[in-house]
Amino acid sequence: MTGTPRTERRTERKMLRVLEGEAIGPPPAWMMRQAGRYLPEYRATRAEAGSFLDLCYSPDFAVEVTLQPIRRFGFDAAILFSDILVVPHALGQDVRFVEGEGPRLDPLDGREAFARLREAGDPAIVSHLAPVFETVKRLRAELPGETTLLGFCGAPWTVASYMIGGRGTPDLAPARALAEGDTALVDALIDRLVTVQTAYLVRQLEAGADAVQIFESHAGTLPRAVPASAGGIDPVDDVAESALPGSATADALTRWSLRPIARMIAGVRAKVPGAKIIVFARGSGLDGHARVVPETGADAVGVDWAVDLKALRGHVPAATVTQGNLHPDTLVAGGDALDAAVDAVLEATAGLPHVFNLGHGITPQTPVAHVERMLARLRR
């Protein structure tokens, strides 16, 4: 592909064509967490790298693990290997990953902790994240020309919930309580994350990502729709509300999830016109999923496994691009159940723009042979 113009190479990428609204059969496929512990080659590289954050911040290792599932399965998209918590780390919050337990952060439990975070324009943030941008640059150079490269970040509410709670909690009680107890503080944190993560996605796109995904992993666990704080404690120069898509009705999903995401998307496109963006709003239900594209301006909605994909397609315009939503447990089970589930996704999206994926990340216990079977069924 040496010497081929970038615009011509992009037209080969089936996933980008779907994000433009084209229906392709069979649909392009990738998996959330496709570079992960179910792969023996990932486990070997992870052991060599040392800590999980070392794996994220070393371009050599991050490129290698991103490429592993592409080499093995020929997915239509590669997603940057990193983690949503590199952003709070770049903001100056202590982040560490405990083996067998997951991420741990020093909880942001009040205004004093917030004051210790770096300001949005601090050049140390970009310096901290420079290895991520280098990874993206190298990946675009090494990936096959037909493979779409995805960047990503977490949605502001999801990232804020980890920053406040210091870890993932089932009900996000610390974050929800702080949102009601000191709304101005949580609004300021959301504003900081909108600004920083908008710039983060722009730099990923400038480094070579073809599209990006915003992960709202906690769209189903939100605070009440309390009124916005008057003036806040960290005012930002942001996109005007009148310029944002969708309804201004401030229910909890709009207030804490979709509106901050819409601000990010508008900010990204102000710098990268036409940027392709997917939003995965896990736990938001059928109605929430149907609202993602019109309320955020996203190009596609990632569908979680709990939503009936056929029902969702009946609730959105035919031109809406969907992604998902095979249950990860069905992939673990394999056999006839897996075949039937793949067929159900294909039936629900026949003739419509769709990207085949799971309804959440692949689990470590998934047999590699089951991924092979899934793809063989999809591509037959």
Strands 148-154, 102-105: pairing is unpaired
- Can you spell out the DSSP letters for 135-163? HHHHHHHHS-TT-EEEEEEE-HHHHHHHH
Number of other CB atoms surrounding residue 50 within 10 Å: 11
Is 33 considered catalytic here? yes
Is 46 considered catalytic here? yes
Nearest C-alpha neighbor of 162 from the set 213, 105, 119, 114 = 105
Cα distance between residue 369 and residue 105, in whole Å: 36
Cα distance between residue 260 and residue 193, in whole Å: 9
Which residue in 13, 33, 140, 291 is the catalytic one? 33
Nearest C-alpha neighbor of 237 from the set 120, 366, 144 = 120
Cα distance between residue 355 and residue 79, in whole Å: 14
Cα distance between residue 272 and residue 50, in whole Å: 36
Nearest C-alpha neighbor of 216 from the set 304, 151, 295, 96 = 304
Which residue in 13, 46, 140, 282 is the catalytic one? 46
Find the angle CA(354)-CA(358)-CA(359) to the nearest 5 degrees. 95
Is 37 considered catalytic here? yes
Which residue in 57, 162, 203, 234 is the catalytic one? 162
Expressed in angstroms, the distance from the first to the final Cα of the chain is: 28
Burial class (CB in 10 A: 0-12, 13-18, 19+), 125: buried
Which residue in 38, 42, 57, 83 is the catalytic one? 83
Is 291 considered catalytic here? no
Scanning 272-360, the segments in alpha helix (DSSP H) are 285-296, 309-315, 328-333, 335-348
Which residue in 10, 17, 37, 104 is the catalytic one? 37
Burial class (CB in 10 A: 0-12, 13-18, 19+), 41: middle
Q: Which residues are catalytic, by number?
A: 33, 37, 46, 83, 162
